[in-house]
A and B are shown apart, each in its own frame.
Chain A
Amino acid sequence: MTLKYQAEMQQLGIENCPPPEYDYSPLTAFRFIFKDLDHPNNFKPVALIFPQRLNEFRDYAQKCQTFGLSMFAEKEKRHFMLLQKKTAGRFSKTVGTCLAALKLGDTDGLHSDPFERSDSHITFHEFKDTDLAQCIINVENL
């Protein structure tokens, strides 16, 4: 299946993205979003949000990741609290103040291995016709 941002990645010369070990197995994932469920940045990858929250514009391997979305495979509120603390309370300006639970099926996209990192962080690359807002099964304030 075609990735949602395939054309944009091709334009930048990004190849082999996502890496071959990414798979499409269904899972419930958790992502920080804005209180406004229709906020345009809720499911937009960092590469496409202006201004981009990036500090390196030359590394193509990293650019692959910037077309994916950060999520957690386990419900974790403590990471949000810690990142708020580390950024003097500003982290929520870029990711919102809610935690959405998303039911992701095998036709929604490709994700990294949830067991690769001990914090269960995954990077998710959407397929072309996926509407992640429709995958939300629960939203909590943080």
Chain B
Amino acid sequence: MDIRDVTKLFDLEYYDGPLLSLFADVNGDFYLYKWYDMAPNAHQWLVWRVQYETLLRYLNGMATEFDLLHEDINEPFYLVEFSEKGQPVVVEILAHSHTLETYSELKTVYFDPELCPNWKAVRHFFRLKPIELEAA
């Protein structure tokens, strides 16, 4: 993954700045940027690739946020910081076990459209891409 080649689609959660955002690359792969923590001179973002089907299940309230994280143990979790010029830099690759343990409380957390500043746009965007949910 080259994190410089992804384009932001939507913020899914926002309060004084994004907390969870959806990005895509030129291949049509989706990535989530989840605010992770503060470092001395940057904020840190947990970045990982999500399957379209799982993402749609999440947005439809059929999968938890933990399911998004737990989806594929072969997908790395990148810890990303932005430079002062806004360039993303991978500062660490996090272990799956550690990340899943950190977010174990998300096993009961489903997508909340109330927290989504772009819900209408998100719905519209995904309606344009029909999917066989049963096959997911």
Contact = CB atoms under 8 A, between A and B. Distances in A.
Contacts of B20: 86
A134 interface: no
Given A53-B35, A86-B106, A119-B115, A59 B8 contact: yes
19 contacts: A51-B41, A52-B17, A52-B43, A53-B18, A53-B35, A56-B21, A57-B86, A65-B14, A70-B15, A79-B15, A86-B19, A88-B102, A93-B37, A94-B43, A95-B16, A117-B114, A118-B113, A119-B115, A121-B117
A77 to B, nearest CB: 13
B15 A95 contact: yes
B109 interface: yes
Interface of A: 32, 45-46, 50-59, 62, 65-66, 69-70, 79, 82-83, 85-88, 90-91, 93-95, 117-119, 121
Interface of B: 8, 11, 13-21, 33, 35-39, 41-43, 45, 65, 82, 85-86, 88, 102-103, 105-106, 109, 112-115, 117
A121 B115 CA distance: 8
Contacts of B13: 83, 86
Contacts of A58: 86
Given A55-B8, A59-B8, A119-B115, A46 B35 contact: no
Contacts of A79: 15, 115
A46 B43 CA distance: 12
Contacts of A91: 15, 19
B8 A82 contact: no
Given A88-B102, A90-B37, A119-B114, A54 B17 contact: yes
Contacts of A46: 16-17
Contacts of B86: 54, 57-58
Contacts of B43: 51-54, 94
A79 to B, nearest CB: 7
Contacts of A82: 109, 112, 115
A62 to B, nearest CB: 8
A83 B114 CA distance: 12
A51 B8 CA distance: 20
A90 B44 CA distance: 11
Contact of B105 (A52, A69, A85): A85
